[in-house]
Amino acid sequence: MSKYIIRGGTPVAGDIRIKGAKNSVLTLLAACILTDGKVTLHDCPHISDVNTMLAILERLGCRTSRTGDDVTVDSAGISGDKIPGGLASELRSSIFLLGSLLSRLKKAKVAYPGGCEIGLRPIDIHLAGLRELGVRIVEKHGYIDCDSTRAHSADIMLDLPSVGATENLVMTCVFLKGVSVIRNCAKEPEIVDLQNFLNAMGAKVSGAGTGIITIEGVEKLHGVEYTPIPDRIVAGTWLIGAAICGGELTLSNVNPEHLSSLIAKLPKSTCKITCARDKINIICNGRCESIPKVETTYYPGFPTDLQTQILTLQTVSDGTSVVVENIFETRFKTVPELLKMGADVTVNGRTAVVRGVRSLNGARVSATDLRGGASLVLAGMCAQGETVIDNIYHIDRGYEDLTSVLSSIGVNIKRI
């Protein structure tokens, strides 16, 4: 089993170029099967979640290939409508294939999806929306069996702005006659990216980034070459890393607007942040002051995928911080590992009180999920002594070639 060994305590210095967003690329790969033309996605990260999604597409009868950072999908020969449980259990985003399969083949059988164990992530919002579109759904033996032969356009109100449900329903509506409307939908940048991708293939989708999305059905989509948005969560992780370790870091191929909620939180007294069109430069000197309160919410609010990382920053900041998690109820699973390193954190339900200490100490810890694993890397980067991180397959799901990336900015890290 691979592990990371980090010797911390040194400032960061250098540049990192951000690749395409994992949470966008996976959805766009699912959307590739909406056309029988070839689709090429540029700037795709080399991460295990992408590999798993490509494996699922292959099992469905698609042909996939990768050349460097470019991934090509040819779904002309797609024949299967069942996503195997073994692969689905590894990847939460496999659920996005439900909408695209229903559009392309009019039927789909999907195993309940897996991914990180960060709490309940019910797909009832997905299914409720599909039922409003006239999709017949049978849930049994761990599978969701759907038939869309009688599907029709509809006006749908989501109970909450779920990213996954929004994306799934948009893909389901692409070929439905008439106009479909999705209200109270998610506003994340990844939703806008999906709209732009689908429209580049000939779809008629509008309103992404607002609370109402409208889809006018078309008869056919064509192939396309497309570059996904940069990964705002990876970029945010390294911005927080610079705040934790000190030093200077420049991120390129990044959209500062997508990170506005994080940039607003980083303490101005110690972090000087300069944003350009596609770059962010951060210079951090001295120990950060604690952020009084961080509360996760839907975009454009503070993202749950950066909560554990900013909590880690608070463990070594000056003062006391309150972190409230409103999206996933077990997002604090990494706290016991941080306690091993000397952090002072008290968790009560969805709230954590973090009292900053002067420094963390190296220890042997274990990643429990993707973002929690990245947070342990940040903790190891600033800790005194040696930190060993086990179960790093979680981190491989969303961070490409971590050793090379962090070594390039002065972090003493190796993978064994």
pLDDT score for 87: 63
In whole angstroms, how far apart are CA 156 and each of 20, 173, 178, 188, 258? 30, 11, 14, 18, 27
pLDDT score for 113: 61
Close Cβ partners of 275 (under 8 Å, ≥ 6 residues apart):
256, 263, 281
Asked if 415 and 395 count as a contact pair (C-beta separation under 8 A), the reply is no
Quick check: is 116 catalytic? yes
Whether residues 243 and 381 fall in one domain: yes
Looking at the structure of the chain, the number of domains it has is: 2
**Domain boundary, last residue among 226, 259, 275:** 226
C-alpha torsion sign, points 137, 140, 143, 145 = negative
Catalytic residue among 116, 185, 271, 382: 116
Whole domain around residue 293: which residue ranges? 4-18+230-415
In whole angstroms, how far apart are CA 402 and each of 101, 165, 272, 370? 34, 31, 25, 13
pLDDT score for 92: 62
- Nearest Cα neighbor of 221 from 197, 192, 193, 194 is 197
pLDDT score for 117: 45
Q: Which tens digits make up the pLDDT trace of 119-142? A: 444 688 999 999 999 999 998 877
What's phi and psi for 37, nearest 5 deg? -85, 165
Looking only at the bridges linking them, the beta strands covering 204-206 and 212-216 are: antiparallel
Whether residues 147 and 102 fall in one domain: yes
Please report where in the chains the tokens 């999206």 appear, as a residue.
327
Record the tokens describing residue 171, joined without a space: 């893909």
Whether residues 51 and 66 fall in one domain: yes
Run of H or E including 199: helix 189-200
Asked if 64 and 54 count as a contact pair (C-beta separation under 8 A), the reply is yes
Whether residues 261 and 358 fall in one domain: yes
What is the signed CA dihedral for 252, 258, 259, 261, rounded to 10 degrees? 170
pLDDT score for 328: 81
**Domain boundary, last residue among 226, 252, 268:** 226
Whether residues 214 and 256 fall in one domain: no
pLDDT score for 116: 43
Secondary structure tally for the chain: helices H, strands E: 14, 24
Length of the chain: 416
Whether residues 206 and 352 fall in one domain: no
**Which CATH number belongs to the domain containing residue 126 in this structure?**
3.65.10.10
pLDDT score for 409: 98
Identity of the amino acid at 93: S
Whether residues 179 and 33 fall in one domain: yes
- Nearest Cα neighbor of 312 from 272, 261, 367 is 367
The CB density around residue 335, as the number of other CB atoms within 10 Å, is: 22
pLDDT score for 82: 78
Whether residues 245 and 137 fall in one domain: no
Whether residues 234 and 367 fall in one domain: yes
DSSP 408: T
Whether residues 382 and 242 fall in one domain: yes
Whether residues 364 and 332 fall in one domain: yes
Q: Which tens digits make up the pLDDT trace of 2-17? A: 999 999 999 999 999 9
Close Cβ partners of 279 (under 8 Å, ≥ 6 residues apart):
250, 251, 252, 254, 256
Close Cβ partners of 293 (under 8 Å, ≥ 6 residues apart):
321, 322, 323, 324
Whether residues 191 and 282 fall in one domain: no
Low-confidence ranges of the chain (pLDDT < 70): 84-93, 113-122
